[in-house]
């Protein structure tokens, strides 16, 4: 039985990735320090004999006993609120965490897939974004800690591939949504869902003309798995190119939830990208992958997930407490 290590296993994408690898017949070791992840995301795996969990910060040396075939490095804060509150942790996991994961891959002769992001394109001047676009990033802006952490992740991964011959894969993940998202993580879908379910007006930043392209988690995970199993070592965009303005998306949420809230407008955050849409030509040609779940269907699944929250959970406005984690 092949064995895989998933860092960030208790997070949104990491937990779904554990499910996928187990379903494909692998033994999975999940690793997370729970700074943004939650054990509730992997509670259903506790009794699975092929799953084990290690509470560990990947910025420290990683020690895994026995053979290891695959490493999927998904440990990182991933929402603007997270990386504005814990900027140094965000940079460290992209630098030290990736270095440790690559070192482990080299020692174990394992294939490693690292999770990069569409944020490496910054506020793009090319639309849609292809993998050969170098990006437009403000390195010293408040969001730069995440963008640059992921750009460094890509650079050191390619260095390990070229210099040490490590078998590497790089995925650039675009906006992904679905069950197990954190309600108050600051991203637009859980923000809109929480506001709608609490009967609050929906908050749109700027005039709402900025665009996003949302990919349902089931599709995203399939793309990740196909890239892991491919023989392609350069970055690949995985996302849904079905683009929508945030204002139109807010109206879709109101229609979905059957509520009658108003839309209120607030100032656009600094360096917030004005457009985001993946060019997925490489994913189609190399992986035979494209998204199958439309936004209407995916949002229904996501709405059902958030509807299951208790009133206490829905009304808990306090974000994660990061004071117990060292920078």
Cite the active site residues. Answer: 146
- Integer CA distances (angstroms), 115 to 94, 197, 229, in order: 10, 31, 15
Q: Starting at the earlier edge strand, list the strands of the sheet with 236-238.
A: 51-55, 27-32, 3-7, 70-73, 111-117, 168-173, 236-238
State phi, psi for 130 to the nearest 5 degrees: -100, 160
Nearest to 298 by CA among 158, 176, 162, 178: 178
Quick one: which H or E segment has residue 192? helix 188-197
Question: Residue 295 phi/psi, 5° resolution?
Answer: -60, -40
Q: What separation, in Å, do the N-terminal and C-terminal C-alpha atoms of the chain show? A: 37
CA–CA gap between residue 15 and residue 182 (Å, rounded): 13
Pairing of strands 243-245, 211-213: antiparallel
* Residues contacting 75, CB < 8 A, separation 6+: 7, 8, 11, 14, 31, 32, 33, 58, 93, 97
Q: Which helix (H) or strand (E) holds 148?
A: helix 144-164
Using CA atoms in the order 43, 39, 99, 320, what is the torsion angle rounded to 10 degrees?
A: 160
In this structure, the number of other CB atoms found within 10 A of the CB of residue 221 comes to 22
Measured CA to CA in angstroms, residue 180 lies from 42, 87, 183, 302 at distances of 10, 23, 9, 9
Euclidean distance between CA atoms 28 and 68, whole angstroms: 10
CB contact at 8 A, 250 and 210: no
């Amino acid at each position: 039985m092949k064995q895989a290590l998933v860092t960030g296993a208790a997070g949104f994408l990491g937990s779904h990735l554990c499910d996928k690898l187990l379903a494909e017949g692998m033994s999975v070791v999940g690793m997370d320090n729970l700074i943004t992840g939650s054990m509730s995301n992997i509670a259903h795996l506790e009794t699975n004999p092929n799953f084990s969990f290690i509470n560990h910060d990947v910025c420290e040396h990683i020690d895994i006993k026995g053979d290891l075939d695959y490493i999927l490095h998904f440990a990182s804060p991933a929402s603007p609120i997270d990386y504005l509150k814990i900027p140094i942790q965000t940079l460290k996991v992209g630098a030290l965490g990736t270095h440790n994961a690559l070192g482990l891959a080299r020692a174990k002769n394992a294939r490693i897939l690292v999770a990069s992001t569409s944020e490496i394109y910054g506020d793009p001047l090319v639309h849609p974004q292809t993998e050969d676009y170098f990006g437009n990033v403000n390195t010293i802006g408040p969001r730069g800690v995440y963008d640059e952490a992921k750009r460094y992740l890509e650079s050191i991964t390619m260095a390990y591939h070229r210099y040490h011959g490590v078998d590497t894969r790089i995925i650039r993940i675009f906006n992904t949504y679905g069950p197990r998202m954190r309600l108050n993580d600051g991203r637009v879908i859980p923000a809109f869902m929480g506001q709608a379910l609490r009967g609050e007006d929906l908050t749109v930043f700027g005039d709402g003309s900025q665009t996003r392209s949302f990919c349902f988690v089931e599709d995203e995970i399939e793309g990740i798995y196909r890239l892991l199993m491919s023989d392609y070592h350069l970055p690949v965009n995985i996302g849904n190119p079905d683009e929508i303005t945030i204002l139109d998306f807010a109206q879709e949420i109101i229609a979905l939830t059957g509520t009658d809230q108003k839309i209120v407008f607030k100032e656009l955050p600094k360096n917030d990208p004005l457009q985001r849409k993946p060019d997925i030509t490489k994913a189609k040609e190399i992986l035979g992958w494209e998204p199958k779940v439309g936004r209407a269907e995916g949002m229904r699944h996501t709405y059902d997930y958030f509807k299951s929250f208790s009133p206490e959970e829905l009304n808990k406005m306090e974000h994660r407490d990061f004071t117990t984690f060292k920078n």
